[in-house]
Structure 1
Amino acid sequence: MKRAIYLFMSAFVFFSCSSQEQVTNKEVVENYSNIVYANYQDVHTHAIALRKVIISFLENPTESGFAKSKEAWILARKSYGQSEAFRFYGGPIDGENGPEGQINAWPLDEAYIDYVAAENTNVNIINSPEKFPEITTAFIASMNEKGSETNVSSGYHAIEFLLWGQDLSDGPGPVNGRI
C-alpha cells in the first residue's frame, strides 16, 4: 500500500511539474493582488455586517440578537484573521497611519473595559459614569491604548470580551466557539 501511494505521488509531482507553461512575475503579482483585494473586500463586508447586527442588538436586546452578534463577530474575525497574512509590509492596515491598533490591538486588559473576576475594583470605562458620562465612538477610539498598550478599548478583542465576558478557561485555545 505504501508503495502504491509513493508511486502515485511521484507520478503526480512529475507530471504536474513537467508543464512547459511559464508563469511571469507580473502574473504572480496580479494573482496575489487579486487574492489580497478579495480578502479585504470580505473583511469590509463582514465588519459592516457585524456593525449592523450589533446596532440592531443594542436597539432591541434579545437572546436571539445576542447570538446573532456572536455569530457575526466570528465571521468577521475569521476574514480579518485571513488578512493578517498580508500585514507587516507597510500596507493599508499596519502602515504608519494605519488602523491596526484600533482594529486588532492585543493583549487586552479586560479590567480596563469592565469588571473582571480577579479585581475588586469597578474603576474602568463602563463602571465610571462620573468620569466617562458618555461613551461614543470617538471616545472609544481616543481611549484605545491610552496609558498602556494593553488598555485596549476598540477592535475585535474588545468586542469579543463584551460578547463573551472574561476568559476564565485554563490553558490556551478557543472558548465558547470563539476563534
Structure 2
Amino acid sequence: MSALFRHPLALIACLILSGFAQAEAKPAAKVDALAVVKHYADLGHAIYSDAESSARQLQIQVETFLQAPDQEGLIAAQKAWQTARIPYQQSEAFRFGNPVVDDWEHQLNSWPLDEGLIDYVADDYFAALGNIGGDLNIIANARINLGGEIIDASTINAELLRGLHELGGSAANVATGYHAIEFLLWGQDLHGHELGAGERPYTDYSQGAQCSHGNCDRRAAYLRTAVSILVEDLSYMTKQWAPNHAGNYRSQLLALNKQIVLARIFNGMGSLSLGELGGERIKVSLEANSTEDEHDCFSDNTHWSHYYNGLGIENVYLGRYQRLNGDILRGPSLSDLVQQASPDVDKKTRQTLSATMASLKALSDTAEAKEKPMKFDMLIAEGNQRGEDILSAILKDLVAQTRAFEAAAAAIKIDPTATGL
C-alpha cells in the first residue's frame, strides 16, 4: 500500500484526485458570467455546509470523549478535528474579496496563538512581546486581573471566550476557533524541528484524582465551549451562502454587477495563492525557520492544510468540489469563460494549477512517508536542503499560478482589483 494511505486524510485526498482525474470536458453550449457567479455561490454553500457538518461531527466526538476520557476517545476527537479541516481549508478560496468571509475568518482560523492565554505551558514558554494576555491561563484562573480590571471567568462560556478573543487587539490572543481547539486536543508541540506533535495526555480531561495538570473540569468546559462556538460560527456562514435566504450575502452578491463578482473571485484566488498560502504560511516559516509560524503547529497537520488550500483554489477556477460524502459538484466556471475567450490562456492556467497540486502532493507525501517522514516543522529547519527544495518548488508554482490568474482575468477583461470594496 502506498504511504499516501497511511494517514486518515490521505484517503480522502486520493479520492478527490481520482474523482477529478476525469477529462475536463468543456460544455457544448457557451456559459455566461451570471451562470458562473451562481455556481460559485453554490460551491460556497456546499463547502461551508461540509465545514459545518464536519464541525458537528467533531462536537459529537469531543462530547463522547469528555463523557469518559481515555486515549482512544482523544484520538477519535483528534481525527475528527483533522477531518473538519478538509472542507474549511478549501473554503479559504472564498476569502479576500468576499467581506462577509474575511471579516469573520479571524474568529475561526487565527494563528499563531499564545498558548499561555488558554492553558498550562512548558517552563521555557515565551509569549509574543508585549502581549498582555500571553500568560493569563484562562483555564487555571476563575478571576483574571487585567491591570486592575477584574474579569469574572468562573463560568467558561461563549460570552467569556468571545470577549477574550484577540484581547487587547493582539492577534496572538486566540481564544476561539480551530487552533484553540487544536491546542486543547494536542497540547504544545515541544519537539521543535524533530519528529513529533503535541502529546497532551487524555488525563487532562479526567475528573477527580486522575486529573493531570489540574482544572480538568474547566479544561473540559473550555473545549466543549470552543467547539460549540465553532459550530455556531460555521452555521452562520452556511446560511450566508444558502439559496432563497432574503438579505443574506449570497443574495447581495448575485445582485452585484457580474464584472465586480468575477473580480472578487479572481482576487480571492490570487490573494490566497500568493499572499496567504505562499507568503504568510510558507515563505515566512521557511525564511525564519520558525515552528511558531507553522499553521497547524500542535497537530503537525500543516501539510494537509496547505494541500487543501491549494485544492480550494483549483476548485474555484474549475467550478468543482468533491463533498465529504463523495458527491462531486460541477458547473459553469471561470475556466469555461476563459476558454471561450482564449483556449491557450485557459490551458496554461489549468496547467499551473496542476503543477501546484503536484508540488503540494509532494509535500504531503514527504510528511506521510512510511520511512523517515518529514513534517512541515522539520522541513523548515535551518540547513534542511530537501525541505527548502520542496517548499521553494511550491512557492515557484504558486507564483506562476497567480500570474496565470492575472492573464486569465485579462482574457475576459476583468480587473481583479475592481472588487467594489
Give the alignment's TM-score, normalised by structure 1.
0.77
| Residue 137 of structure 2 is aligned to residue 133 of structure 1 | no
SS of 1:40's equivalent?
helix
Q: Do the aligned residues in 2 keep the contact of 1:54 with 1:69 (CA within 8 Å)?
A: yes
Q: Name the residue aligned to 1:52.
A: 60
Stretches of structure 1 lacking an aligned partner (at least 5 in a row): 1-15
* Pairs within 5 Å for 1:11-90: 21-90=29-98
Q: Name the residue aligned to 1:104.
A: 109
Q: Name the residue aligned to 1:8.
A: none
> Against the structure 1 CA distance between its residues 51 and 26, is the aligned structure 2 distance closer, same or farther, given a 3 Å change threshold?
same
Structure with a larger share of its residues in helix? 2
| Residue number among 136, 141, 160 corresponding to 2:182 in the alignment | 160
Q: Do the aligned residues in 2 keep the contact of 1:50 with 1:73 (CA within 8 Å)?
A: yes
Q: Which has the higher mean CA deviation after the structures are superposed, 169-178 or 70-79?
A: 169-178
Shift of 1:122: 6.7
* Pairs within 5 Å for 1:3-14: none
- Number of equivalenced pairs: 161
Shift of 1:93: 2.7
Stretches of structure 2 lacking an aligned partner (at least 5 in a row): 1-24, 127-133, 145-152, 194-288, 303-421
Q: Which has the higher mean CA deviation after the structures are superposed, 125-134 or 154-163?
A: 125-134
The residue type equivalent to 2:62 in the other structure is I
> Against the structure 1 CA distance between its residues 138 and 55, is the aligned structure 2 distance closer, same or farther, given a 3 Å change threshold?
farther
> Against the structure 1 CA distance between its residues 63 and 25, is the aligned structure 2 distance closer, same or farther, given a 3 Å change threshold?
same
User: C-alpha distance in 2, partners of 1:138/1:154?
Assistant: 11
Q: Do the aligned residues in 1 keep the contact of 2:117 with 2:135 (CA within 8 Å)?
A: no
SS of 1:92's equivalent?
helix
Identity among equivalent pairs (%): 39
> Against the structure 1 CA distance between its residues 157 and 94, is the aligned structure 2 distance closer, same or farther, given a 3 Å change threshold?
same
User: C-alpha distance in 2, partners of 1:141/1:159?
Assistant: 14
C-alpha RMSD over aligned residues: 2.7
User: C-alpha distance in 2, partners of 1:70/1:36?
Assistant: 26
Shift of 1:178: 2.1
Shift of 1:94: 2.3
Q: Do the aligned residues in 2 keep the contact of 1:53 with 1:72 (CA within 8 Å)?
A: yes
User: C-alpha distance in 2, partners of 1:112/1:123?
Assistant: 5
Q: Name the residue aligned to 1:146.
A: 167
Q: Do the aligned residues in 1 keep the contact of 2:110 with 2:179 (CA within 8 Å)?
A: yes
| Residue 106 of structure 2 is aligned to residue 94 of structure 1 | no
| Residue number among 297, 301, 314 corresponding to 1:178 in the alignment | 301
> Against the structure 1 CA distance between its residues 92 and 49, is the aligned structure 2 distance closer, same or farther, given a 3 Å change threshold?
farther
The residue type equivalent to 2:125 in the other structure is E
Shift of 1:26: 2.1
User: C-alpha distance in 2, partners of 1:93/1:49?
Assistant: 22
> Against the structure 1 CA distance between its residues 27 and 56, is the aligned structure 2 distance closer, same or farther, given a 3 Å change threshold?
same
Shift of 1:91: 4.1
Q: Do the aligned residues in 2 keep the contact of 1:122 with 1:128 (CA within 8 Å)?
A: no
